[in-house]
Structure 1
Amino acid sequence: MKVTPWEVEGVVDYSKLIEEFGMEKFEDLLSEIEEPMRLMRRGVIFGHRDYWRIVEAMKEGKEFAVMSGFMPSGLPHFGHKMTMDEIVWHNQKGGKAFVAIADMEAHGVRGLSWKKCFEIGMEYVKAIIALGLNENSVIYFQSANEFVKNLAFELAAEVNWGELRAIYGFESETPLTKIYVPAIQAADILFPQLKEFGGPKPTVVPVGADQDPHIRLTRDLAARASIFSFEEIEGGLRIRSRKGNEFLKELESLNFEKKFYEGHVDVFGEKKKIEEEVRKIEIEIGGFAFIPPSSTYHKFITGLTGGKMSSSKPESYISLLDEPEEAKKKVMNALTGGRATAEEQRRFGGEPEKCAVFELYNYHLIEEDEELEEIRESCKSGKLLCGKCKKYAASLVVEFLKDIQEKMKEAEDRLDDYEVIFPKHVGSF
C-alpha cells in the first residue's frame, strides 16, 4: 500500500491508514451528528481530525467554514463529485463554503496553459453550484486570489526544505514550482480564517486520505504562524507566545483570573471562553490566531476498470460532462463483483464489496439506505445478476447526468449571485 498526494498504489487498508497517519475514527462521532449525509452513514468517510469542532459549531449554531479545492487538470468526474457533495452538505448545514480552483498547481505542476486551467476550472465552478452550493460561499481561482498568495508567502517562512523533503519526498531535481505548492495549499486551507473573511473559525477540509500530508503540514503551520499557543492546565489554560514574550503583556486586558510568569501566563476560567478572548486579542495586535483546521477523509472510489478512479484514464471514470449514452456504455462495461457465470452467481452469490457498480450506488446513485441494502442482499444471495444490476445503475447515471448538465447550464446565469474571484488576464499568458 502506497498513499501519497500524488500517487496511490495497492489495496488500501483504511484501518491501517488511521493508525499510521494518526487519524481518529469517524464512526466514533457519527451519533453526535444530526442527519448525517450518506457518505458518513455508510462509512465512506472513515477518518477525521478534530471534526468535533465542526459538530460543536453545528449544534450551537456558531460560525464555521468548509473548504476544499479542485485541480483543473481534467474534467470533473464522480470522484470529484464526492468532495463536492461533502462541501455542499456542510454549506447547507450553515457553513460558509470556500472552493478553490487550483489553477496555479495545474499550470505549474501539470503544465496546462492558464487559458486551459480557466476553461476546465469553470466546469468545476458550474458543477458544484449545480449540486446545490448556496450563496454563502466564496469560489476562487488561486492565481486571482491575492489573499492566498500573500498568505502562502507568510507560511513559507515557517517551513524548511528538510521538512518538505521528509513529508513529500522532494528531491534535488524537484522543480521549485512543485515545492511551493504545499505553501499555496496551506494558504487555501487557512484562507477562510483571515480577518477579511470573518477571522478565526472552525474549518473542515473534506479530502481523500492521500491529501493528509497537506492537512498535517497546514495544522502545524497554523500553530507556527500564530502568536499565542494554548496548553490545558487544571482550571484553565497556559498561554505562551511564539513570537516573543513581549506579546504576553497584551493579555493583561483579559477579564479572567490570571498569573503572569516570565515565559507564560496562566489564565483560569472556562477554557473555550479564554481561548476565544485570546484569539480576539491576537487579531487586534495583527496576528492570525488560526484555529487548527479540521478534516474528514473519504475512501477512494474505485475506477470502473479497477484501481483508483483517475482523470488520466477516461475509461475509469464518469465525467459530469459525459454524454449520457457514453456514460451508459462505461457502466455496462464496468468491472463487477459477480461470478464467472450466471449459474455460479445464482449458486454462490456476488461480492458487492468488490464491485465498482455497487460503489456507484453506495457513493452516488442511491440516497435511501434501505434500497441500497436490498440491492446488496439481492447480489449476495444470487437473486440479482450483474446484467440487470448494471442496467439499473446505467439508467440512474443517465438520469443524473441529464439533470446535472441542465443545472450546470443554468449555473452560468447564476454566477453573479456568488462571490467568485476570477483571473483578470485569462488567455494573455
Structure 2
Amino acid sequence: MITPWEVSGEVDYDRLIQEFGIEPFKPLLDQIDNPMHLMKRGIIFGHRDYHRIVEAMRNGDKFAVMSGFMPSGLPHFGHKMTMDEIVWHNRMGGMAFVGIADMEAHAVRRLSWKKTREIGMEYIKAIIALGLDENSVIYFQSANERVKNLAFELAEEVNWSELKAIYGFDGETTLAKMFVTSVQAGDILLPQLAFYGGPKPTVVPVGADQDPHIRLTRDLAARVSIFAFERLDNGVRIRSRKGREYLERLKDLDFEMKFYEEHVDVFAPPDEVESRVRELEVSIGGYAFVPPSSTYHRFITGLQGGKMSSSKPESFISLLDPPEVAGEKVKRALTGGRATAEEQRRLGGQPEKCVIFELYTIHLLDDRELEEVEGDCREGRLLCGKCKKMAVERVESFLRELQERMDEVEGRLDMYNIIS
C-alpha cells in the first residue's frame, strides 16, 4: 500500500512506473551537467516532465524547485534526501520554495499548532544548514495566505468522486483531510503565481508515495488555466477552456496561424508559442500554469528494515539525535552480511541488502569511496563489524557538523524569507 500518509509492504518501483506513467530517470542522465549523486546512483528512479527542468538549467532560464515536509515527527535521514535535492536544484539556478505542511500535520496526525510550529522550525534550520540560499521562500501552510487562497480556487475544480479514486478516501475521511489535498496543490503551484514571477517550470522532488498529489496538481494546473496546448509536427494546437472569445485574443500574437471553431493551429517553434501565449494569459488575468515536473526517489530503508518513518523512532536516525545516540542506532542496524565471518570471507557480503551500505550510498560516501566499499564487501575483504565502525564514525561526524550549523542558523533566521 502506498498513499501520501501510509506505506506498507514491498515497494515495486518498476510497477509504479508502469501503472502510473512515471518515466524512468536514467535516460535523462546524459543530458544533465554534473548530475547529483542521487541521480547517478539510481536513488532518483523516475520523473514526470523533468526535461523542462533540464532545458531550463541548460539554457539559463528561470525555474523553481518546490517541496515540503509534514512536521509530524523529527527530521531524519529520509527527509535529508529531499532536502539535498532541493538544495542541489537551488544551486543549479532554481528559485527554492519550502513548505512546512502544518495544516496537513494538524488534520491528519492531530498535532497541535504549537507542536507543528516547534517541529517545523527544526526542518527549516536543517535545510538552511544544508545549504539553502537566503533568497528561498520558506513558509508554514497555515500562515501563507497565497497558498490558502489558491487552494480554495483549485478546490472548485475537484469533486468527491475524484478524491475517492485518487486517494481512496471513504465515509470516515474528514473534510479537513480532503481539503489538505488542495492545499498541497496550492503549495506546488505557488512558485508560478504572478507575485513570484509568473509561470515557470517547477520541479517537485518527492518519494513515490506523494505521486497522487502530483497527478492531481498537474490536472488542476490545466483546469484553471485558460489555454491548453497540443504539440503538432509543425507547431502547436491551442484550445480555450473559457470560451471562443479567448481564442480571438491570439490574433494579437505575431505568428502564422489558422482559426477553427474549437481551436487555433499556430505554426511556429512550440516552446516560443507556448511562452508567448502564457504571457498573454497572465496579462488578461489567467494563471497559465506550466504543468509541474517531479522527480521520485526510492524510500530509504529503516534501520531494522521497512520504510524509515517519523512515526517509528526505532526506524530512523534523527538529524537532532545526539551523535553518540545515532552511533548506537547504527550499530544495531541490519546488514547484508553472511551468517559467519568465515562464510562472508568465502562468499562475500550482499551490499544490496544492507542498511549500512544504503546510508553510504545516499548520504555518506563519495563515488570513489562507495566503489571501494562495495568491492571490498562483495569480495569478502570487508566484514560487517569494521564496516559498521566506519559508518558510526561518519554518521557521528556528520551530525556534529550539521547540528553546529543548525545552532548557528538559529541566530540568523531573520535573514530568510520565512512566512510563519
TM-score (norm 1): 0.97
CA–CA distance in 1 between the matches of 2:17 and 2:5?
19
Q: Secondary structure at the match of 2:75?
A: coil
Q: CA deviation at 1:296?
A: 0.3
Match of 2:288 in 1: 289
Gapped runs of 5+ residues in structure 2? Answer: none
Match of 1:72 in 2: 71
Q: CA deviation at 1:416?
A: 2.2
Match of 2:357 in 1: 358
CA–CA distance in 2 between the matches of 1:239 and 1:37?
36
Q: What is the one-letter code of the residue matched to 2:181?
A: P
Q: Secondary structure at the match of 1:204?
A: strand
- 1:186-218 Cα shifts (integer Å, max 9, x gaps): 110000000011100000000001111110111
Same amino acid, percent of matched pairs: 71
Match of 1:370 in 2: 368
Whether 1:114 and 2:99 are equivalent positions in the alignment is: no
Q: CA deviation at 1:136?
A: 2.8
Q: CA deviation at 1:322?
A: 0.1
Q: CA deviation at 1:234?
A: 3.5
Match of 2:395 in 1: 397
**CA RMSD of superposed structures (Å):** 0.9
CA–CA distance in 1 between the matches of 2:128 and 2:109?
26
Match of 1:343 in 2: 342
Q: Secondary structure at the match of 1:12?
A: coil
TM-score (norm 2): 0.99
CA–CA distance in 2 between the matches of 1:357 and 1:191?
38
Q: CA deviation at 1:312?
A: 1.2
CA–CA distance in 2 between the matches of 1:413 and 1:399?
22
Of 259-268 and 96-105, more deviation after overlay is shown by: 259-268
Match of 1:210 in 2: 209
Q: CA deviation at 1:381?
A: 1.1
**How is 1:32-111 mapped onto 2 (pairs within 5 angstroms)?**
32-111=31-110
Q: Secondary structure at the match of 2:287?
A: coil
Q: CA deviation at 1:5?
A: 1.5
Whether 1:410 and 2:414 are equivalent positions in the alignment is: no
CA–CA distance in 1 between the matches of 2:222 and 2:22?
18
Q: Does the 8 Å CA contact 1:67/1:99 hold for their aligned counterparts? A: yes
Match of 2:155 in 1: 156
Of 206-215 and 246-255, more deviation after overlay is shown by: 246-255
Of 373-382 and 58-67, more deviation after overlay is shown by: 373-382
Q: What is the one-letter code of the residue matched to 1:100?
A: G
CA–CA distance in 2 between the matches of 1:272 and 1:27?
24
Q: What is the one-letter code of the residue matched to 1:297?
A: Y
Q: CA deviation at 1:405?
A: 0.3
Q: Secondary structure at the match of 1:34?
A: coil
CA–CA distance in 1 between the matches of 2:270 and 2:19?
31
**How is 1:163-242 mapped onto 2 (pairs within 5 angstroms)?**
163-242=162-241
**How is 1:316-331 mapped onto 2 (pairs within 5 angstroms)?**
316-331=315-330
- 1:319-344 Cα shifts (integer Å, max 9, x gaps): 00000000000000001111111111
- 1:148-184 Cα shifts (integer Å, max 9, x gaps): 0000000011111101000111001111111111100
Q: What is the one-letter code of the residue matched to 2:413?
A: L
Match of 2:138 in 1: 139
CA–CA distance in 1 between the matches of 2:45 and 2:220?
25
Q: Does the 8 Å CA contact 1:352/1:379 hold for their aligned counterparts? A: yes
CA–CA distance in 2 between the matches of 1:246 and 1:158?
22
CA–CA distance in 1 between the matches of 2:417 and 2:8?
38
Q: CA deviation at 1:261?
A: 2.0
Q: Secondary structure at the match of 1:29?
A: helix
- 1:243-288 Cα shifts (integer Å, max 9, x gaps): 1122112111101112222221121111111111100010011110
CA–CA distance in 1 between the matches of 2:316 and 2:330?
9
Q: Does the 8 Å CA contact 1:101/1:140 hold for their aligned counterparts? A: yes
CA–CA distance in 1 between the matches of 2:69 and 2:208?
15
Q: Does the 8 Å CA contact 1:91/1:136 hold for their aligned counterparts? A: no
Of 4-13 and 403-412, more deviation after overlay is shown by: 4-13
Q: CA deviation at 1:417?
A: 2.1
Q: Secondary structure at the match of 1:147?
A: helix
